[in-house]
Every structure is written in structure tokens, then in C-alpha cells.
């Protein structure tokens, strides 16, 4: 749901802090406006796999496909500008997007839970984009 709100109502939120979830399929090609995004996902998440999963008649989308839409919306290059270690997370960072809004996709060793210190790292990141 957070991806949809950020994508379709960008003026209503200041940033998207996503964790272990994405758009429903089909993923949008673009969002209605740019938005800074910091996303976190466990490499071994079996509840919300990186490639998505069916839930009844619906299907959660792919994280990679969701980032295609976010990069297109923000005017980011295909490849990240850098890869950084932030606590236990390895993050791909797009910081040279045409919109001026950064994207960050972070992965950590673990499953469907947030790594220790996640909330503090999110707030630290948010302070840099607002």
C-alpha cells in the first residue's frame, strides 16, 4: 500500500520508507510524480519474495520491476550511482536522478523482519532528503 500511496499521491507524502512490499501487478510504468524512496528487504524473505507472490486473486509485484517505475519517474539511470553499507544493509543508491530525489534499495541478511536499528537509519536518511 505504501508504494501505491507514494506513486499515485506523491503530494500527500514526503518520502516512501518501504520494507518487504511493492506494487501489485501489473506494476506501473511510471508514478504520478517523483518521490524520495528508501526501501529495505531481507535476502531470505519467504513471506514476501523479491519476485512477488500471489495472494488470492491478486499478485504482489517484483521489487526489481517496481524500481524500474521509480527510476523512470525520478529520472534515474538504470545502474545505481554507488553501493554503500549502512549498518547491516547493503544499499544501491541513485543520487543523480533528474528529479533531485534519491532512491535507495537496501538488502540485508535475513527474512521477513526489519534489521536492528532500521527505524533510526530511516530517520537519519529522511533528514538528508527533507
Domain boundaries, the chain: 2-129
Q: Is residue 1 scored above 90 in pLDDT?
A: no
Give the per-residue pLDDT at 122: 93
Q: Is residue 72 scored above 90 in pLDDT?
A: yes
Sequence-distant (6+) residues with CB within 8 A of 16 are: 2, 3, 5, 6, 35, 36, 37, 38, 39
Give the per-residue pLDDT at 11: 87
Q: Residue 70 to residues 9, 32, 37, 56, 112: CA-CA distances in angstroms?
A: 14, 10, 8, 26, 23
Give the per-residue pLDDT at 21: 87
Q: What is the mean pLDDT of the chain?
A: 94
Q: Give the C-alpha separation, 20 to 3, whole Å.
A: 11
25-69 residue pLDDT tens = 999 999 999 999 999 999 999 999 999 999 999 999 999 999 999
Q: If we measure between CA atoms, which residue out of 26, 40, 43 comes closest to residue 103? A: 40
Amino acid at each position: 500500500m505504501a508504494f501505491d500511496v507514494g506513486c499515485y499521491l506523491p503530494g500527500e507524502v514526503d518520502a516512501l520508507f518501504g520494507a518487504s512490499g511493492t506494487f501489485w501487478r501489473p506494476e506501473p510504468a511510471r508514478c504520478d510524480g517523483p518521490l524520495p524512496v528508501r526501501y529495505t528487504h531481507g535476502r531470505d524473505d519467504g513471506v514476501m519474495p523479491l519476485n512477488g507472490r500471489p495472494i488470492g486473486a491478486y499478485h504482489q509485484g517484483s521489487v526489481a520491476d517496481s524500481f524500474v517505475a521509480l527510476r523512470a519517474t525520478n529520472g534515474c539511470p538504470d545502474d545505481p550511482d554507488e553501493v554503500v553499507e549502512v549498518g547491516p544493509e547493503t544499499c544501491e543508491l541513485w543520487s543523480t536522478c533528474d528529479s533531485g530525489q534519491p532512491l535507495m534499495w537496501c538488502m540485508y541478511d535475513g527474512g521477513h523482519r526489519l534489521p536492528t536499528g532500521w527505524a533510526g537509519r530511516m530517520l537519519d536518511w529522511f533528514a538528508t532528503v527533507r
